[in-house]
Structure 1
Amino acid sequence: MTADKRFPRDVFAAGPDPDTRFTLANERTFLAWTRTSLALVAGAVAVHSPFFELDAWVSNLASLWLLVLAALCVGQAWLRWRAVEKAIRTGSPMPGFGAPALLAVSVGVLIVSVAVGVVVVAAR
């Protein structure tokens, strides 16, 4: 397949085709972040379900937070894939990546928030 027919064109035109193993490893990382995003969406649906006896504001806030995180994960997955693929093709250094730390902190804040919501409901 020629570079001019692959999407995104600017990535595949950035240099020669690298060793396939590196490209496939980059794809696996992209798919892992996509799976993480899907898990966050599933968590948003679960938190919003009546199974958890949370106040509506806690449920809504947690669901929205999880959906925002899911959107950020998908966006980061795409941007990271592009940046790494270009670096592999051009022989440039790998780009930095702060998304795992941001995700960990965000999920931690969510856990504390939901725990507070559960305690508030239990105290009634």
Structure 2
Amino acid sequence: MIGRMVRAVRLWFAPWRVREEGTTPDYRFSLANERTFLAWLRTALALLAGGIAVDQFLTDIGWGPRVAVAVLLLAGGATCAVRAVNHWVRSERAMRRGEDLPMSRFPAVLAVGTVVTAVVVIVAVAVG
């Protein structure tokens, strides 16, 4: 399992190795995969900016809830960025191999994390 993860991470930094597999897909599909990657990175940046904003500007909320929300947003942003590159590599490899695109639970996890963060903010605003 760890060996497989290490090989996957190596592909993040060596995209030419991805090109060694299978056949080159239609460029439109590779470009769509890249646009999806960039959309996930924009989401990651928004989460990071939100975490910083919560910590710096929501000073009326108690320290505990403020830090909890900021950390949730920052962790979500970091996770989203890692997930973006991992999904890009997995999708590119699948297209080159003629396989189905990889399935992911991450969008659901991100949505649930967003809801949890929103609930914490709602409770903190209502109480504080």
What is the CA–CA distance in structure 1 between the aligned matches of 2:59 and 2:97, rounded to whole Å?
50
**SS in structure 1 at match of 2:57:** coil
Find the partner of 1:94 among 88, 92, 101: 101
Partner residue, 2:5: none
Structure 2 CA distance for aligned equivalents of residues 104 and 52 of structure 1? 26
Separation (CA, whole Å) in 2 of partners of 1:43 and 1:60: 12
Residue 69 (structure 2) aligned to one of 62, 87, 90: 62
Q: Give aligned-pair identity as a percent.
A: 41
**How many residues are matched?**
116
Q: Does 1:53 align with 2:67?
A: no
The corresponding residue for 2:15 is: 8
* Aligned residue in 1 for 2:85: 78
Cα deviation, 1:27-61, whole Å, max 9, x if unaligned, reads 00000000000000111011112355111111111
32, 41, 45: which one pairs with 2:39?
Answer: 32
Q: Which runs of 5+ in 2 are unaligned?
A: 1-12
Output the TM-score relative to the length of structure 1.
Answer: 0.88
Matched, 1:105 2:112: yes
Aligned AA for 1:77? A
User: CA-to-partner distance for each residue in 1:57-84, whole Å, 9 max, x for gaps?
Assistant: 1111111110110011011101100000
From the CA coordinates, give the structure whose radius of gyration is larger. 1
More displaced stretch, 6-15 vs 52-61: 6-15
Structure 1: state its 5+ residue gaps.
1-5
Displacement after TM superposition at 1:106 (Å):
0.4
